[in-house]
Chain A
Amino acid sequence: MEPERASDNSLDIIVAEDDTITRTRLVSMLERMGHQVRAFTNGRQAWDEFSAIPARVVISDWLMPEMDGPELCAKVRARARTDYTYFILVTATQTTDADYETASQAGTDDFLSKPLTSASLWRRLRVAKRILGFTKEIGQLKDLIPICAYCRQIREDDNFWSNIEQYIQVHTGSRFSHGICPQCYEKVVRDFDKAAQAKAATTGSAKTPQAAPAAAESPVGEELVSQASHGCNH
């Protein structure tokens, strides 16, 4: 399998592995794939580095001196204001179901079995990139969204303003059905009544205006009232 080399595919990876040969092998394979690697000999050192400068991916051995893989993973997950980190735990043979349960509870995303191969590593990192891409999109939605205080349009990355429905539809795939809530319905009817009364006053009509005829004079109002009264969506 051809390793990825393009720089735009490069990931920032922290490696925690106490076995010198496995660590050397892992770093060599990752660097050949074009990734930026920071390697450490135990979980404690890796955590110290991560807490100072987080990485998008951590590849950690399970059993290490000072701090083991699941504990490192739990600390990574608990770090506040940190972009999602894809955590891969390297397992040996004879890993039990209970071990996997422990690692999953700690927040591990994926597992790699020893001895490592570049093909298995490449596949895990392809998944990592996909998941990290999704978390970035979710983060864009969850984080601060620049919205116009007046018209409620949202500014996109390219400085293009889109309405909130369009924004959500593009970023989430959600669609909208249009209706009217009871509060807005009351307000719309009141506004139509006032408008009709004002119109009647100017034309000298003594007849008490009704909402429906007033609304019928406005195509927009007619549509809103019709939807509200029939619970119609479109």
Chain B
Amino acid sequence: MPFSPQTTAFPPTARVDSAVGWAEIEQLQIEMPGMEIGTLVDLFKEETPGLIAQMTAAITTGNADGLRRAAHALKGCCANFGARPIEALCQTMETAARAGDMQGASERFGPICEELRRVTAALEWASHGGKR
């Protein structure tokens, strides 16, 4: 089944709550007063499926550099929202791919997809005015 970030949970459960950094999200709202957090969340939801697709393609073709770049990009994207758990997973994948360890890197793919669903759910909640 292709990855879909549309999985939501309202209100977020405790399991989803820890997926993002609420202080970072508040900071975003302070620094970008003219922009709704929902706009950034929409951008996030537009960007991430493409990155997951890049990961899938890189794993399928054994492209370590492509996998490294996709993991790095997803990590940076998630860092905007203080999503530490997925950042850590992406970092592990990036490091393994950089070392040419495709097996080790690929093993992180499943947990990354699962964590991304949690992040997306938490951001959906935030975009509707929800706070921790």
Contact = CB atoms under 8 A, between A and B. Distances in A.
Contacts of A94: 91, 94-95
B34 interface: yes
B107 interface: no
Interface stretch (A13-21, A123-131, A185-193): A13-21
Interface in A1-56: 18-22, 24-25, 28-29
B120 to A, nearest CB: 13
Contacts of A24: 35, 40, 43
B118 interface: no
A65 B44 CA distance: 19
Nearest to B77: A19
A162 B82 CA distance: 58
A92 B31 contact: no
B28 interface: yes
B31 A117 contact: yes
Contacts of B73: 18-19, 63
A114 B79 contact: yes
Chain B binding surface, main DSSP class: helix
A22 B77 contact: yes
Contacts of B46: 20
Nearest to A90: B76
Contacts of B82: 115
Interface residues of A, number: 19
A203 interface: no
B76 A92 contact: yes
B69 A65 contact: yes
Interface in B92-113: 94-95
A118 interface: yes
A93 interface: yes
Contacts of A93: 79, 87, 91
Interface of A: 18-22, 24-25, 28-29, 61, 63, 65, 92-94, 114-115, 117-118
Given A21-B77, A115-B24, 13 more contacts: A19-B77, A20-B46, A20-B47, A21-B80, A22-B80, A25-B31, A25-B40, A65-B69, A92-B75, A93-B79, A93-B91, A117-B31, A118-B31
Interface of B: 24, 27-28, 31-32, 34-35, 40, 43-44, 46-47, 69, 72-73, 75-77, 79-80, 82, 87, 91, 94-95
Rank and list the top 3 A-B pairs by shortest CB-CB distance, nearest first. Answer: A19-B76, A21-B80, A115-B79
